[in-house]
Amino acid sequence: MNYINIRNVKIKKTAMLAPMAGVADRAYRILNREFGASYTVSELISAKGLCYNDKKTEELCKITEKERPCALQLFGSEPEFIAKAVKICSQYKPDIIDLNMGCPVPKVAGNGSGAALMKDTELAASIVRAAVEVSDVPVTVKIRKGWDENNINAVEFAVAMEEAGASAIAVHGRTRNQMYSGKSDSDIIKEVKKNVSVPVIGNGDVASLEDCLRMYEYTGCDLVMIGRATYGNPWIFKEIDDYFEGRTFTPPDLDTRLETMLYHMRLALSDKPEHIAVQEARKHAAWYLTGMYGAASFRAKCYSLSSYDDAVRLTEEFRELQLRNVPK
């Protein structure tokens, strides 16, 4: 098994879980780590929110041993707030601090943070320097291809971030204007890898073992990051991990899929109040059923779950439906 090092942090060279706001919470990270994700990153944490002692923001900083190696991901556009936030994060003992310079959503990029920083390389570099100066762990940066098709600057931007002190660069092969549509550009990841000496993490359109292997081979990246393909599918990490460990991967059967769905919900319930955990679990339940017989008709039932017992009943009902429709 090969490993990469982001400074002193050793990470299995298989595939890592992407940071996804509203999806990759603590329960999601633990689950996917157990299935083989080699590295996890927190949901987006507002640097200003931390500095102003926002309790909800502070909750995002907590890390359990089961998630490690794990980074705390900050966003913000002011170096002084980033520096203060990094100091606050240190009490939660992250393995890495990740700075988000790739988030495309309006409430982040529209305020000058996230992908908007790719329009101001000098400001972005000053943010990295401010974080590196006060951090006792590696500082990494997540970027995109560029702001739009007329402003593709990932290579020069990545070089500037390395010069400012970044210990690794994650590159999503889409522009900010593409959001999550269209095709991810592996060529830009390849070019970034050629031009920096720190580890490069490739992200975008990795939905299978084959995609993962292709990303490694084509771009030469040091690690692969997977996001939306993990929805209801933590087995993607197991398949990749099994491949690199020389094991035979066995796809999950019906019972395994449904029990994993319930286990995921139990993880959420152990971390959050039931009404919040159940509300957030609705989308996950729907994702676990995707592609199976009758899934579309059950999706509405997933979105009306109000308790764990409801989920158990739905699981049994769905299992019976599948068994009734197994080809004779």
**8 A C-beta contact, residue 142 and residue 98:** yes
* Per-residue pLDDT reduced to its tens digit, 97-153: 999 999 999 999 999 999 999 999 999 999 999 999 999 999 999 999 999 999 999
* Per-residue pLDDT reduced to its tens digit, 30-88: 999 999 999 999 999 999 999 998 888 888 999 999 999 999 999 999 999 999 999 99
* Per-residue pLDDT reduced to its tens digit, 293-323: 888 888 888 888 888 998 899 899 999 988 8
Q: pLDDT-based confidence at 328, cuts 50/70/90? A: low
- In this prediction, residues 188-216 reach a mean pLDDT of 98
Q: What is the pLDDT of residue 298?
A: 83
Q: What is the pLDDT of residue 326?
A: 66
Angle, alpha carbons 211-217-219 (nearest 5°)? 90
Q: What is the pLDDT of residue 327?
A: 63
Q: What is the pLDDT of residue 54?
A: 83
The DSSP output letter for 9 is E
* Per-residue pLDDT reduced to its tens digit, 251-272: 999 999 999 999 999 999 998 8
Alpha helices in the chain (DSSP H): 26-34, 47-51, 55-59, 79-89, 106-109, 121-134, 154-164, 186-195, 209-219, 235-245, 254-269, 274-289, 295-302, 308-324
Q: What is the pLDDT of residue 38?
A: 98
Quick one: 52 exposed, middle or buried, by C-beta within 10 A (0-12, 13-18, 19+)?
exposed
| 29 vs 18: CA distance, rounded Å | 9
3-class DSSP string for 186-255 = HHHHHHHHHHCCCCEEEECCCCCHHHHHHHHHHHCCCEEEECHHHCCCCHHHHHHHHHHHCCCCCCCCHH
Burial letters 19-40, b for 16+ CB under 10 A, else e? bbbebbbbbbbbbbbbbbbbbb
Residues recognised as catalytic? 103
Residues 6+ apart with CB under 8 A from 306: 278
- In this prediction, residues 235-259 reach a mean pLDDT of 96
Q: What is the pLDDT of residue 289?
A: 87
